[in-house]
Amino acid sequence: MKIKSINPDTGEINETYLLHTLPIVNDIINSVDLAQKEWVATSFIERSMLMRNAAKLLRKQKPTLAQLITHEMGKVIRESEAEVEKSALVCDYYADNAKAFLSDEVINSDAKSSFVAFEPLGVILAVMPWNFPFWQVFRFAAPALMAGNAAVLKHASNVPG
């Protein structure tokens, strides 16, 4: 089965995509599971550097990415640029704050030592809507990745790319 990306302004077909088969989806999930086992071993410093690099790439490619958003969904270019910038900001935010957010929290109890530890969950499935194609992904992915998780993304069924 195929799904088409249609430019809402011109009605022209941008691209045609094949839907993934179940074996392909299973391969993706298995690959992400293996990658997460390595990712969880990376330090907050390394994750922060990579997250900052993602923010830099988003900003560097903002004109191209914003044009893609506009071309695919008809969003005003100014709004598309703002969405890409907001996505870069969330990457910087979690690069700066995730370690503090995920630090052990000491709690009072009768025990010698009690605390809440925040551990990675593993592979997380994100099913995202169509209206903010970058922001919806990065607002989920930045904290999830900084926490040592990996992610599989499935956009809404009306999102082709």
Residue 154 banded pLDDT, cuts 50, 70, 90: confident
User: What is the tens place of the pLDDT at every residue in 82-120?
Assistant: 999 999 999 999 999 999 999 999 999 999 999 999 999
Instruction: Give CA–CA dist 135/52, Å, rounded.
Output: 16
Q: Architecture of 2-155 per CATH?
A: 3-Layer(aba) Sandwich (3.40)
Angstrom distances, CA of residue 110 to CA of 34, 76, 106, 107: 40, 58, 13, 10
Residue 15 banded pLDDT, cuts 50, 70, 90: confident
- Domain ranges within the chain, ordered by starting residue: 2-155
Of 158 and 56, the structure prediction assigns the larger pLDDT to: 56
* Whole-structure pTM value: 0.89
